Amino acid sequence: MNKILRTENLEKVYRVGKIDIHAVQGVNLGIEKGEFVSIVGPSGCGKSTLLHLMGGMAKPTTGRVFIEGIDISTISDVKRAKIRREKIGFVFQRFNLFSALSSQQNLEIAMQICRNGNVDHQRIKEIMALVGLENKLHHKPLELSMGEQQRVAIARALVNDPLLILADEPTGNLDSENSYRVLYLLKDLNRNLGQTIVLITHNQEASKIADRKIKMKDGMVISPS
């Protein structure tokens, strides 16, 4: 199989006063094209920091991150941002939607950033239908349930046809019913479209939706499987 994401001896150290906090320690991972992988562990174990490193939102203290063979930890900020825009879709716990804009407008902005200002309205309609919200195009976030807001956020992550979706605690703000819907939407995207997904979660039950589970503790991977 083809590894589209790989980390090599990845370390991230934060300095807090006179103390070094080792958020990520010696992580070596490989994600294959078409995989659905969960990374699970307690709060504070380094899961989100690892996702930020894998997605090029943070630079490692030492070690390397490769996206399709390109070492994104050594390239310029501009080049890393370009790879992030073109190859990675992000889904966050807090949705991060523009509250004054409709669902369609939120997707339009993401598409403009990815496509040099160009917007494909038909593609936006297709993506919203894919997440089951084709009738919510003109609704603003506060006119949607929290579960619907997260599905709009997933739709937004799909607008650049990403190589990889990185989802950081996407059910953290949802009740059990909406958590189920979001998790199985991600599963459908993986199973039916072949979308590669890495799910970060502290929830052991949520982690079971993935085909492969990786456990973290104290910044370290303790049981890849």
- Give residue 120's pLDDT: 87
- Exposed, middle or buried, 101 (CB in 10 Å: 0-12/13-18/19+)? middle
Proportion of the chain in helix, strand, coil states, percent, rounded to 5: 35, 30, 35
Overall size of the chain counted in residues: 225
User: In this model, does residue 66 exceed pLDDT 90?
Assistant: yes
Give the CATH superfamily of 3-95+160-224.
P-loop containing nucleotide triphosphate hydrolases (3.40.50.300)
Over residues 169-185, mean pLDDT: 93
Percent of the chain at pLDDT > 70 equals: 98
Domain ranges for the chain, please list them: 3-95+160-224
Q: How do residues 72-112 score in pLDDT, each as one tens digit?
A: 999 999 999 999 989 999 999 888 999 999 999 999 999 98
Q: Are strands 164-168 and 196-201 parallel, antiparallel or unpaired?
A: parallel
Within 6-162, where are the H helices? 47-54, 77-87, 103-114, 121-130, 146-158
pLDDT, tens digit, for every residue of 198-211?
A: 999 999 999 999 99
Closest CA to 33 of 59, 6, 53: 6
pLDDT for position 1? 54
* Residue of 19, 65, 28, 25 lying closest to 45 (CA atoms): 25
In this structure, how many other beta carbons lie within 10 angstroms of the beta carbon of residue 180?
Answer: 16
pLDDT at 138 over 90: yes
Angle value at C-alpha 215, between 212 and 220, nearest 5 degrees: 130
Q: Calculate the average pLDDT of the chain.
A: 92
pLDDT at site 224:
67
Distance between alpha carbon 83 and the CA centroid of its chain, in Å?
14
What pLDDT is attached to residue 36?
97
